[in-house]
Amino acid sequence: MEHAAPPAWVMLAYLISGVFFILALRGLSSPATSQRGNRFGMAGMLIAVVTTLVTHDVASLPEILGAIAIGGGIGWVTARKIAMTDMPQLVAAFHSLVGMAAVLVAAAAFLNPEAFGINGADGLINPVSRVEMGLGIAIGAITFSGSVIAFLKLAGKMSGAPILLPLRHVINLGTLAAILGLIAYFTIDQSPWIFWTITALAFLIGFLLIIPIGGADMPVVVSMLNSYSGWAAAAMGFTLHNTAMIITGALVGSSGAILSYIMCKAMNRSFISVIAGGFGAEAAATGGAAKEQRPWKRGSAEDAAYMMQQAESVIIVPGYGMAVAQAQHILREMADVLKKQGVSVKYAIHPVAGRMPGHMNVLLAEAQVPYDEVFELEDINSEFAQTDVAFIIGANDVVNPAAKTDKTSPIYGMPVFDVDKAKTVFFIKRSMGGVGYAGVDNDVFYMDQTMMLLADAKKMCEDIVKALGSGH
């Protein structure tokens, strides 16, 4: 049975929807245009949904509207309530839903190929469509189970430590080969057992791929799963000959791939080594090693307040520890007071400062830090040499000069802030005991111009704000 081509306006509608999705991403090139971009995205989705509904014989409209209402309600309430610090796990959870939806759509297409117009004249599913369905369900299932594990690790419901199975590389490669082999065989024989075996193996491999990856690599994993969810949508777009789905799949797939690349580069990790997993296991092992005792200076809130008031320029380097201590609001107040006193204040953000790409920028935006005071690593790094005060709060590895000098360091090669070039460095830390995510000591602690502010980040910022006020 041959699939009748849909009317021209339908194809155009899906094309417009796809173009609107491109404009949605295009809008994100600047915060000023981003909200309009988001509205383009919503409009594109509306066009796609309405076009599908009016061109298909929808006997079950009430059920469909019910499903949209239930799902939409859950999504909307979650989006309203979620804390910005929990964004990585929310995104991981959302990825898992896209993955599961792709699996369900591919399964439905397999069970009812006629509805999708993918049957050949012989009454069997077209071989090309079988490949597309096989890929769609496999990528969807990998996205689902991988995202579930990523969600559990990010939400702290499962240990972030890598779980290393013996022979895991052999098992993983074997499973992947089996999936690809079965998809190839599926073009010859469309027996249900093949289809369901592909599905089961894909769920398994998604799980196996993510459990050996440590918490530190989660920004890469979340980006990678973002990419997978796009490829899953694209594969289903091929099955349905739907332009909107294909364009979207390509956009999302590229987006996730580029973000993974940016994150890997920011950590000086190769993509292969992230996928292979195990990072964090060796760091945990070396983290407990004996540390040499070197002299360091302890500063007080008053010292910090005084030095920053005297300074012309201050660069704040926030890390995830700041968000854990919920210090971003009081930090912004501190910056406001300094700015009122004529000090230039800038924020320097490392790509891996948060738990996902751009996470720190969102956390600062939430604390009402103007985005034009926030700078990326490569844009601000040369300024430290002319800066009076570098104020490090909740960051550690991203300011560690060992990344530039010590070839044996686990973070060697990672781009870091040149805070050691600033005239004075204030380093907020809970205690001298703990070390960063990578478990390495930091020479910045022991520099002549460094003063350690040993306290909870929020408490310390509050004290500095008080000291700034009283000194006036």
Active site residues: 397
Q: Closest approach of Cβ 232 to another protein, in Å?
A: 7
What is the DSSP pairing of strand 313-318 with strand 374-376? unpaired
Cβ proximity to another protein: between 34 and 197 the closer is 34
Q: How does DSSP assign 113-145, residue by residue?
A: HHHHT-B-TTSSBPHHHHHHHHHHHHHHHHHHH
Polymer length of the chain: 472
Token readout for 27 is 């809008």
User: What single letter denotes the amino acid at residue 385?
Assistant: A
47 to 106, contacts with another protein by CB under 8 A?
A: 48-49, 52-53, 56-60, 63-64, 67-76, 78-80, 82, 84, 87, 90-91, 94-95, 97-98, 100-102, 104-105
247 to 306, contacts with another protein by CB under 8 A?
A: 247-256, 258-259, 262
Q: Closest approach of Cβ 38 to another protein, in Å?
A: 5
Burial of 199 (0-12, 13-18, 19+ CB in 10 A): buried
* Contact status: 361 vs another protein (CB under 8 A): yes
Q: Which of 362, 418, 421, 451 binds another protein (CB under 8 A)?
A: 362
Instruction: Please report which residue ranges of 27-60 form alpha helices under DSSP H.
Output: 31-55
198 to 237, contacts with another protein by CB under 8 A?
A: 222-223, 226, 229-230, 232-234, 236-237
* Contact status: 16 vs another protein (CB under 8 A): no
Contact 375, 402 (CB under 8 A): no
What is the DSSP pairing of strand 389-393 with strand 450-454? unpaired
Cβ proximity to another protein: between 93 and 425 the closer is 93
* Contact status: 116 vs another protein (CB under 8 A): yes
Q: Which of 246, 314, 399, 460 binds another protein (CB under 8 A)?
A: 246
**Using the 8-state DSSP alphabet, how is residue 298 labeled?**
B
Q: Which stretch binds another protein (CB under 8 A): 113-121, 190-198, 291-299, 432-440?
A: 113-121
Number of residues that bind another protein (CB under 8 A): 127
Contact 279, 214 (CB under 8 A): yes
* Contact status: 354 vs another protein (CB under 8 A): yes
Cβ proximity to another protein: between 342 and 433 the closer is 342
Cα–Cα distance list, 329 to 82, 325, 343, 354, 392 (Å): 18, 11, 19, 16, 16
Strand partners, 429: 454
388 to 417, contacts with another protein by CB under 8 A?
A: none
24 to 53, contacts with another protein by CB under 8 A?
A: 24-26, 28-32, 34-35, 37-38, 41-42, 44-45, 48-49, 52-53
